[in-house]
């Protein structure tokens, strides 16, 4: 605990349960004195998210579906009513249909599923940034979560990899537009972690242990590491960093040829 986030207020989007990356980040920010609001997707998740939000003294807990303008309008209206202005947003939201997260990318990708993944996983950050900037007259920090499958081929990541590439490019363009307002915009490229989303990728369950084996630091990406990067970027420590994709993956992204493969 500490006071790196003292006096700062912000929104956490994407907690589904206690394994969610958004939750790991939220609890770290709260421990450093941040005041938090949470959005969750749909009533069925409220049961899981409410006790978590309450445990860190959240000021607001509201449903929001990033594909639905009316729900986003309502959520940001509530946010403005409660907080007036905000200092940061953590966007930790992504989705692709399960049947596309396996096998052949070129054969299995349909127009509708491709557009859905792009809408929820990439466009939503543009939309959230536009809404959040209106509540940030004193500047602020926006962060999103991405994965190496945007830069390199990760088997079965398919459509999501393409959506993450769009998300990372969007991060740079949003950073350009909001820079003059002193709003910083960055992405954290986290290594594979054991969450609900990972379980949706074919073979995803083995991805974290395989990645640990081939990483520079021989361990799985820790929630503490990811949350620590979020704390840096959301606090004033991150003052000069924007338009950046920060890898927090035990060095997996830097490996060209894994050393302990057979043959």
How far apart CA 21 and CA 9 sit, in angstroms, is 19
Among the listed residues 7, 71, 67, the one whose alpha carbon sits nearest the alpha carbon of residue 39: 71
Distance CA 230, CA 80 (A): 23
Distance, in Å, from the CA atom of 162 to the CA atom of 12, rounded to the nearest integer, reads 24
Q: Does 27 bind ligand NAD (CB under 6 A)?
A: no
195 binds ligand NAD, rule: CB under 6 A: yes
Residue in 5, 15, 26, 53 binding ligand NAD, rule: CB under 6 A = 15
* String marking each residue 95-114 x if it binds ligand NAD according to CB under 6 A: x-------------------
Should residue 126 be labelled a site residue for ligand NAD when binding is judged by CB under 6 A?
A: no
Site for ligand NAD (CB under 6 A): which residue of 93, 96, 178, 245? 93
Cβ proximity of 126 and 120 under 8 Å: no
In this chain, which stretch among 29-37, 58-66, 74-82, 106-114 interacts with ligand NAD, using CB under 6 A? 58-66
With CB under 6 A as the contact rule, which of the stretches 16-24, 29-37, 73-81, 228-236 interacts with ligand NAD? 16-24
Q: Is 33 helix (H, G, I), strand (E, B) or coil?
A: coil
- Least distance in angstroms from the C-beta of 221 to ligand NAD: 8
Q: Is 213 exposed, middle or buried (CB count within 10 Å of its CB: 0-12, 13-18, 19+)?
A: middle
Which span (18-26, 51-59, 179-187, 227-235) binds ligand NAD, by CB under 6 A? 18-26
| Dihedral angle, C-alpha 77, 78, 82, 86, nearest 10 ° | -60
Residues that bind ligand NAD (CB under 6 A): 14-16, 20-22, 41, 45, 64-67, 92-95, 120, 145-147, 190, 192-193, 195-198
């Amino acid at each position: 605990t500490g006071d790196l986030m003292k006096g700062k207020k912000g929104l956490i989007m994407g907690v589904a349960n206690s394994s969610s990356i958004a939750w790991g980040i939220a609890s770290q920010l709260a421990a450093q004195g941040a005041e938090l609001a949470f959005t969750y997707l749909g009533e069925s998740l409220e049961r899981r998210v409410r006790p978590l939000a309450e445990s860190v003294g959240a000021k607001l807990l509201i449903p929001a579906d990033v594909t639905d303008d009316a729900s986003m309008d309502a959520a940001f209206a509530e946010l403005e009513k409660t907080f007036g202005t905000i200092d940061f947003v953590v966007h930790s939201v992504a989705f692709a249909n399960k049947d596309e997260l396996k096998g052949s990318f070129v054969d299995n990708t349909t127009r509708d599923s491709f557009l859905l993944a792009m809408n929820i996983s990439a466009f939503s950050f543009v939309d959230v940034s536009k809404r959040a900037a209106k509540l940030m007259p004193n500047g602020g920090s926006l962060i999103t979560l991405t994965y190496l499958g945007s830069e390199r081929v990760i088997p079965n990541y398919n459509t999501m990899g393409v959506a993450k590439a769009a998300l990372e490019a969007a991060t740079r363009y949003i950073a350009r537009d909001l820079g003059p307002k002193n709003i910083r915009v960055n992405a954290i490229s986290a290594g594979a972690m054991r969450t609900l989303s990972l379980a949706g990728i074919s073979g995803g369950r083995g991805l974290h242990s395989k990645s640990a084996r081939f990483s520079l630091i021989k361990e799985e990406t820790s929630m503490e590491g990811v949350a620590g990067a979020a704390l840096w970027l959301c606090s004033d420590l991150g003052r000069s960093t924007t338009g950046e994709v920060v890898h927090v993956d035990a060095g997996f992204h830097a490996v060209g040829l894994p050393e302990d493969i057979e043959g």
